[in-house]
Chains A and B, each alone.
Chain A
Amino acid sequence: MTGARTIVGATGEWELVIGLEVHAQAATRSKLFSGAATAFGAEPNVQVSLVDAAMPGMLPVINGAAVDQAIRTGLALGAEVNRFSVFDRKNYFYPDLPQGYQISQYRHPIVGAGELRVDLPDGRTRVVGIERLHLEQDAGKLVHDRSATDSHVDLNRAGIPLMEIVSRPDLRDWEEAGAYLRKLRALLRAIGSCDGNMEQGSLRADANVSVRRPGAPLGTRCELKNLNSVRFLMRAIEVEARRQVGIIEAGEAVRQETRLYDPQRNETRAMRSKEDAHDYRYFPDPDLLPLSLSDARIERLRDSLPELPDEIRERLIGEYGLTPYDASVLVAEPDAAGFFEAAAQGRSGKRVANWIVTNLFGALNEAERPLAESPVSAEALGQLVGLIENGTISDRIARDVFEEMFRTGSSPQAIVEARGLRQIQDADAIDAAIDAALSANPGQLEQYRAGKTKVLGWFVGQVMKATRGQANPALVNARLRQKLDPDGAG
């Protein structure tokens, strides 16, 4: 078995089959076929050239920087970079598409088959096939909230270079899909070919989802459009798969269609069926020559690639002794490997990794903030682990300190000092607390003496409580034993 999640319906178990089409904005200063700027957040229609507005007589000219980013991405995916590729026109009418066609690559994409290695939380690894990567233009945006009767068009995005990265239908549940998207984003960010910013739309995913009995032939798929966060992607896939199972188990057939996910209602809704699907009438764009790449250009770009996430992962396991899972999580999150390496300087890598993966990511996730906006810096987290390692605070106290660090941004030393959380190492102080606990609980002491040795643990708890958790637990244990069994018996 694959170990992937399945859906158990009324009639039995269902397996999911998922393929993702990810649109990643190639990191370039200007658009795919014009000199207009690509910066996010500009006033509507200020980053529009005559070409983007499709004025009569305008012609596209390919932006070499976008081609370079596609090549670099292809190389990072271990994919074949095609020496010959062709730009096609994809014809359809929509007010945000000024030319009346999108320039894309249909029959001859710039990048062919590759693969992406995805590590899963349960320790499994899935190698997901990449079918292709092609370059295409983004469309503009319709603005409906400026007038009760009219829609407006913002063409700032029109002509922005996109890399469409198409996976094979190799993903088997929503966790895998989420892990794939995170890993892909980390890869794109690591090589700088896309900023990976899903909130700003520089990374979006469409998911093709179908269900089947385990091992059966493929079912009818639905395409979920424009999923703009990992969480929505995962929720959309799960809810869509459950919808499909419901339909089939009710004795009906799934209709092949394009659907939209509504995060408010956590449901998918039909957008258009296969019957109304466009015939895009693709044909090679006669305004552009076929794209021909030299080996020298490809090799130069190969040399420009930094250390890739899988290479970093191997290094983290080798150099820091991390578990494969922790290492995978660190390379899958943007900037996390660098964060880890900064925090781990002079400390136990395993412990630091554990703190990042469990505590920091948990808190960030809850606060819905990216690592880049973490209130706890790598340096501060390293210091916190340092305080544990030199015995200043216990793990338990460290969790409280971390919580305050996350809330206030203060340094761990400052919090420990201000709140007097320094661990009690002083044997006299601990003895005093033990004596107090013993004399306050003669009944329990009697039980212990009668041979109920489990009461020892209860006394440790009492002492820790009395010292507000600051006593060194090991020391408490040792001193307590000595007081109860001075001869070391038992």
Chain B
Amino acid sequence: MASDLNRLGVAEAAARLAAGDCSAVELVEACIAAQEAAANLNAVVADTAERACAAARHADQRRHRNEARPLEGIPVAVKDIFCTRGAPTTAGSRILDGFVPEYESTVSAKLWDTGAILLGKTNMDEFAMGSSNETSWWGPVRNPWSPADGPSLVPGGSSGGSAAIVAAHAVPAALGTDTGGSIRQPASFCGVVGLKPTYGRCSRWGIIAFASSLDQAGPLTRSVADAALILQHIAGFDPKDSTSADLPVPDLHSALQGDVKGLRVGIPAEYRLDTLPVAVGDLWEQGIAWFRAAGAELRDVSLPHTRYALPAYYIVAPAEASANLARYDGVRFGLRSAGKDPDELYTRTRREGFGEEVRRRIMIGGYVLSEGYYDAYYLRAQQVRTRIAEDFRTAFREVDVLLTPTAPSSAFPEGAKTDDPLAMYVNDIFTVPASLAGLPAISVPAGLDDDRLPLGLQLIGQAFDEATLLRAAAALENAVGTLQAPAVSA
């Protein structure tokens, strides 16, 4: 039935297209209809329906000519932080209102080269700074799991739009970016799979920078297999990004085939917080039980510097951001608020163009880098970062993957934490350590809490060992079975 095409995952849709069961035009039109039906989520900020339809016709023609590529005709939504040629790209910020890049990010270009089609630039926290998608200049995103009769819940952030649109079955996959949890936490909140690859696995070229030493692109999908499939096509060395790794990308599809018998799964003691909600703790125990039942070997490990991760992250990331965002000065592109001299131009443009959270982080970043404070903050945070990476290296001598909760709670109502930045930052407590260490990590939907809201479990892998990570994630997914669908689901 054509009306159900939007519910297909990436692999299923590719198979249906290959079998001739449906056309790319039908698939894309079904997703466009689903996005229109889900318009109240505010998940999509730049409408690309027209060009998607044209691309779908082109994809069908290629298939007729037997020139179909692996993802020919599959629509993918892209976080508005990826520069997309000819499509507005704002990173959720007023300061980039009206900016239309003349270039395509490496990661999205690689997807289009495999035949995938851009369908929707997705809403996000401004410059990826946020954990609830409430800092976007384009307004908050509504979590599709929000109860019809209750408050609007946040989708998590910063890739909130990507998570929400995938959860709403309005596109089979979306691209996001993860700096301190920005793929995994919204994936957990929206009940989808979110994969942050190893730092350096995917090129950052053409992705608007938040914190360069942490930013990494990755997929949000409704299955682990789909996440693996997308990663397979976006990963790889890029000479235009000096920090991308010149390493071969393993065959991730075949990596999914194995089981987890004998896989050593580590449970880090330091993640057992007193403040952890019962539902989250119980789900974690359930996850441990699932792995044990599947034949994995469970081990307790220690990551002693974990409690310093969040403070270190909130020094390093704002420091890098304070410089990365200096280019938004009103001189060459984006918003310009006129001033009588350059200083006034900068001040007015940046005060009017950046939201409160972005301004806060620029100021924190400027502060921790300033003379006299550099050693106490930035340098110290980098030392902490080294220790945290060492913690993980030590743990990975004993285990193959680590299992933790993704986030300390399920989705919360809009406005619940906007007045308390520190409460908001705590959302990242389980995701930030792997980010600081550059490790691959994935959030897999693993259950519902008492409010019938999704919760994810996080698996953390060794650097560049996405294959083992995905094998464990597939086993977890298999044990979980099917979750109830969100309230808004086309």
Contact = CB atoms under 8 A, between A and B. Distances in A.
A161 to B, nearest CB: 16
A100 B326 contact: yes
- Contact count band on A: 20 to 34
Contacts of B211: 286
Given A91-B322, A99-B326, A286-B211, A62 B374 contact: no
A4 interface: no
Nearest to B215: A286
A91 B325 CA distance: 11
Contact of B329 (A58, A100, A288): A100
A55 B101 contact: yes
A461 interface: no
B160 interface: no
Query: Which has the most chain B C-beta neighbours within 10 Å: A56, A59, A100?
Result: A56
A56 B89 contact: yes
Contacts of A100: 323, 325-327, 329
B394 interface: no
A281 to B, nearest CB: 4
Contact of A93 (B96, B105, B326): B326
A139 B96 CA distance: 24
Interface string A312-324: 0000000000000
Interface stretch (B143-151, B187-195, B238-246, B472-480): B238-246
Interface in B351-373: 366, 369-371
Contacts of B374: 281-283
Given A57-B205, A93-B343, 8 more contacts: A57-B209, A58-B206, A59-B240, A61-B242, A91-B323, A99-B326, A279-B370, A281-B370
Contacts of A60: 242
Contacts of A132: none
Nearest to A87: B242
B134 interface: no
Contacts of A61: 239-242
14 contacts: A50-B103, A54-B332, A56-B83, A56-B89, A57-B83, A59-B204, A59-B242, A61-B242, A93-B329, A100-B323, A153-B331, A281-B366, A281-B374, A283-B369
Interface of A: 50, 53-62, 89, 91, 93-95, 98-101, 153, 279, 281-283, 285-289
A98 B243 contact: no
B208 interface: yes
B371 to A, nearest CB: 5
A62 B322 CA distance: 22
A100 B321 CA distance: 12
B24 interface: no
A283 B371 CA distance: 11
Contacts of B213: 286
A285 B213 CA distance: 9
A279 to B, nearest CB: 5
B271 interface: no
A282 to B, nearest CB: 8
Nearest to A278: B371
B319 A56 contact: no
A289 B242 contact: yes
Contacts of A279: 370-371
Contact of A287 (B103, B212, B343): B212
A286 B369 CA distance: 14
A91 B362 CA distance: 12
Contacts of B212: 285-287
A93 B327 contact: no
B319 to A, nearest CB: 6
Interface string B110-148: 000000000000000000000000000000000000000
A147 to B, nearest CB: 15
Interface in B456-486: none
B205 A55 contact: no
Nearest to B343: A93
Given A99-B326, A281-B370, A286-B320, A93 B242 contact: no
Contacts of A53: 332
Query: Which has the most chain B C-beta neighbours within 10 Å: A55, A57, A101?
Result: A57
A36 to B, nearest CB: 14
Interface string B203-223: 011111101110000000000
B186 to A, nearest CB: 21
B99 interface: yes
Contacts of B239: 61
A57 B207 CA distance: 5
